[in-house]
Chains A and B, each alone.
Chain A
Amino acid sequence: MFNHLLSLLIWLPVVGAVPVLLAGSARPNLARWLALLMAVLTFVVSLFLLPQFNAADSAMQLTESHMWIASLGVHYGLAVDGISIALILLTTFVGILVIVGAWEVIQDKPHQYMAAMLVLEGLMIGVFCATDALLFYVFFEAMLIPMFILIGIWGGPRRVYATLKFFIYTFLGSIFMLIGLIYLYLKAGTFDLHTLAALPLTMQEQSWLFFAFLIAFAVKVPMVPVHTWLPDAHVEAPTGGSVVLAAVMLKIGGYGFLRFSLPIVPDASEHFAWLVIALSLVAVVYIGYVALVQEDMKKLVAYSSVAHMGFVTLGIFIAFMLVRGAGDVDMAKLGMQGAMVQMISHGFVSGAMFTCIGVMYDRLHTRSIKDYGGVINVMPWFGFFYVLFAMANSGLPGTSGFVGEFMVVLASFKANPWIALFAAFTLIIGAAYTLWMVKRVLWGDITNPHVREMKEINGREAFVLIAFAAAVLALGIWPQPLIHLMDASVSQLVQQLAVHKI
């Protein structure tokens, strides 16, 4: 049996970036096709995960483990469970779409752009596979480098500010996690996550570690009040960068909570669950209002991302109240599943929204809402997709946006109706800011003469939008396969929550 599938997935795009770079600026088309080839290959390889993966088994599968640093006992350890597989598939799927989306949009040094995207993709897959904390950290940090370059070279006017802010913010968060990990290593003698999960820790140790993890992942998710890098990064990033950032990179924060905070410091996580829940609700309600007043479309979607990711953290941490408070494992599982579905769904929806904005930006070179109006008159097909994604973003039943939010709201109602009340606010605010934007951009009369010159989407753009639309609808109408894929892993996680480590 070929058991290096995960390594192949990680290194194929990373190594594949080398020929793309070598194609050079002189042969941009060769670079593009090579990059597409690599992205498609990676996607195909990631599909091979599914038949090999036994969804009924909650254990980590497809394990690879090699000694990496013998003198420290650090392993190059990879494995996946249902949650990782879902996120890996999301990554490879989005990986193709950003390459296609950037095809002729990126004219300046396209080979470097494509190569950076591929490296980024490989590193993100690595984050989702790593079972060794040090390896996780290496991937977690290394992916900042290509993103830094992506925003810095191909971004908007304030790109330098945005990309520095992005890098330093994230680095700030993670370095404290590193200290925490070293502490754990000195205590346990290993970076292996499975062993660390079984390591008994006092409440005091757990609390410190909890905050070390919290700051790292809260910056990444991002949670209020450390979300301020996100609007800047999103606004200034090129379309592809925004898509990857929103669709995959933010998920790494949520994933980190699952892999680190929950298993390693469960008691502290329970103790401080109220804090995370409160911050999540602030994100849902307050950031929702902030999104409402945005003038810039990208900024609006960026803030809506913060609000939607609030559901992810809410779903994860509400499980503590349910398991340890009420002893309701089934509901806790529902909340956790909701969080997972929300992650995947937000990946598609936000990616699609940013692609839509990118499509308009390529034509009019402005992201300001007031510069548009009546776009539907000149771009009816585009309008169709835009409305669909807007509906998904506001959580309309039948789209993927609804499923996760509904599950989380349901679970929080069981925990505390007040939490559910605030969480459900998103149904109103989310609809308000998204639909209001649609109204101002798509409908109405054409006030800006340049809008009249906008061309309908071409085949390449249609391909990207159709792919996103298919994913959004499929997940909205029939989420069962995704839930089934993650079911055993989520059950396992929820059961772990009940175990005290003190």
Chain B
Amino acid sequence: MPNFNDILVLLPEFYLVAAACLLLLLDAFMKPEQRGLLHWLSIAVLLVAVYLVVAGQPDGTATAFNGMFVRDRVAEILKVFALLCTVLVFVYARPYLADRKLFVGEFYTLAIFAVIGIMLLVSAGNLVTVYLGLELLTLSSYALVALNRDSPLSSEAAIKYFVLGALASGMLLYGMSMVYGATGTLSLAQLHGAAAHSAMPNLLLFGLIFMIIGIGFKLGVAPFHMWIPDVYQGAPTAVTVFIGSAPKLAAFGMAYRLLESGLGDLAQHWQLMLAVLAVLSLAIGNLVAIVQSNLKRLLAYSTISHMGYLLLGLVNAGPEGYAAAMFYAISYALMSTAAFGVILALARAGFECEEIDDFKGLNQRSPWMAFLMLLAMFSLAGVPPLFGFFAKLLVLQAAIDANMLWLAIVGAVFAIIGLYYYLRVVKVMYFDKPQDGVRLEVQQDVSLRWMLSLNALLLLVLGLCWGPLLGWCRAAFGLVSA
């Protein structure tokens, strides 16, 4: 029987579930023209959740339900950023959805349920919790991708996502069952002790490989990346911006929980596997992105390469590396929301503004939007003094620290190759003449404009003072400042 303390530990999650259900109910009784209220209520719900996460954070680690659920600093940071990213997504999405008659309550409820999945996932203390959180997140995401039911592209993307996602979940579950068979426990904490002297090390390794496949799919690293480009392109941009941000934090959290909290003893095995995945992702992501003409698809391939960089941090398999990888995940989530945010700010009914050529001459039409996109692009490319550079610096450092200098050099080489396609976007915005017949106008929505400006400028501000955030990330992994 769960006691009151358990419930207190899970308070933010319980609260969100209740709030999401209420929002759904409210939506059913709401007139369509009152949906604005729902929009702001959803944002308020998320902000209250941020408060609950931060305010209720215990010193050190608290567990609930016999260790099924862990509430520690790592989970706190990931939850806060996942919630904040979702707030950004809601603000950016509204005009886009309204223009396309997709401004419906389901979007908000599904996204909030996905966030609950994220929160469970990053707090998982047991293989079952991992699976539970993951399924809640992905099932909500499938539905979100198919939000625009009339669009064949969206439906195709959703089906593709669903089929591949189900396959990956199966793999993960299969791996978990083997790990259970080899160790006799599902608890990550017990697994940590049991994995080192398992009676069946080969079975355990086999399970590990399947679990890595599951993680790889969630992160979207090559060769498990097939779904990313289609889903990014096919989903309504308002959904893409969500899929491209908060779930990346969850994927990092999941990798951390499974690999470190659970199978940390097998680090020498998974380090090399992750290194291979990293190299493949960097190569495929960066090389294929070069030839894209659709910006959403380009950003999809860029995601693949960025997740490769994130793996560079995980490969380190030490607190420094995890801190670097978490820093990377946070920076990527912010950069990705900024980049997609600009697309959303320029899209309007009947004009998706997702081809790179649509951005031609943006600097003449709207210098401010062009500047925000420039910040996002240079940050993604990893040019100082923007945020993305420091994230890259840290993961490269983590790789070198793990005696994988070669991996860092591979990362550096692909950073150069990757630079090209980000520069191409800047080139199109600044150096080309505007196309005839393309209406490049910025959405009038004030909250969108302000939040987007804040989001993109944050990339510059955090680039100049990234110390506190890094200190926070490092403290979460028990590293004290020098």
Contact = CB atoms under 8 A, between A and B. Distances in A.
B416 A168 contact: yes
B467 A149 contact: no
Given A68-B467, A70-B467, A112-B367, A141 B383 contact: yes
A168 B367 CA distance: 24
Interface string A136-147: 011001101100
B285 to A, nearest CB: 17
A138 B482 contact: no
Interface string A165-203: 001100110011011001101100100000000000000
B408 A179 contact: yes
A182 B383 contact: no
Interface in B378-398: 378, 383-385, 389, 393, 396-397
Given A149-B430, A152-B430, A71 B479 contact: yes
A141 B393 CA distance: 13
Contact of B427 (A109, A164, A175): A164
B383 A171 contact: yes
Contacts of A141: 383-384, 389
Contact of B466 (A69, A137, A182): A69
Contacts of A176: 409, 412
B420 interface: yes
Interface string B457-472: 0000000011100110
A145 B383 contact: yes
A69 B481 CA distance: 9
A49 B408 CA distance: 41
A186 B397 contact: yes
A159 interface: yes
Interface in A114-173: 134, 137-138, 141-142, 144-145, 148-149, 152-153, 159-160, 163-164, 167-168, 171-172
A499 interface: no
B54 interface: no
Contact of B467 (A71, A159, A179): A71
A152 B481 CA distance: 42
A69 B467 contact: yes
A89 B427 CA distance: 33
Contacts of A189: 482
Contacts of A145: 378, 383
B400 interface: yes
Given A71-B481, A148-B426, A172 B470 contact: no
B119 to A, nearest CB: 26
Contact of B419 (A70, A112, A137, A167): A167
A179 B415 CA distance: 12
A164 B482 contact: no
Q: Is the interface of A mostly helix, strand, loop or mixed?
A: helix
A144 B423 CA distance: 12
B470 A144 contact: no
B431 interface: yes
Contact of A175 (B415, B426, B481): B415
A152 B427 contact: yes
A67 B412 CA distance: 27
A183 B378 contact: no
B396 A182 contact: yes
B317 to A, nearest CB: 16
A325 interface: no
A175 B412 CA distance: 6
A137 B420 CA distance: 20
Contacts of B479: 71
A149 B371 CA distance: 11
Contacts of A149: 430
Contact of A153 (B378, B409, B430): B430
A73 interface: yes
A182 B430 contact: no
Contacts of B420: 164, 168
Contacts of A138: 384-385, 389
A185 B471 contact: no
A72 interface: yes
Nearest to A68: B467
B245 to A, nearest CB: 25
Contacts of A153: 363, 430-431
B355 interface: no
B474 interface: yes
Interface string B113-130: 000000000000000000
B405 interface: yes
Interface string B284-321: 00000000000000000000000000000000000000
A144 B400 CA distance: 26
Contacts of B396: 178-179, 182
B135 interface: no
A183 B383 contact: no
A179 B385 contact: no
B401 interface: yes
B189 to A, nearest CB: 27
B225 to A, nearest CB: 24
Interface of B: 363, 367, 378, 383-385, 389, 393, 396-397, 400-401, 405, 408-409, 412, 415-416, 419-420, 423, 426-427, 430-431, 465-467, 470-471, 474, 479, 481-482
26 contacts: A68-B465, A68-B467, A69-B466, A70-B471, A70-B482, A134-B393, A138-B384, A142-B383, A144-B383, A145-B383, A153-B363, A163-B431, A168-B420, A172-B416, A175-B415, A175-B416, A176-B409, A178-B393, A179-B396, A179-B405, A179-B409, A182-B396, A182-B397, A182-B400, A183-B405, A189-B482
State the 7 A-B residue pairs at the shortest beta-carbon distance, nearest first. A138-B384, A69-B467, A152-B431, A71-B481, A175-B412, A71-B471, A73-B482
Given A68-B465, A152-B427, A179-B396, 16 more contacts: A69-B466, A70-B481, A70-B482, A71-B474, A71-B482, A72-B470, A72-B482, A109-B363, A141-B384, A142-B385, A148-B426, A168-B416, A178-B393, A179-B408, A179-B412, A182-B408
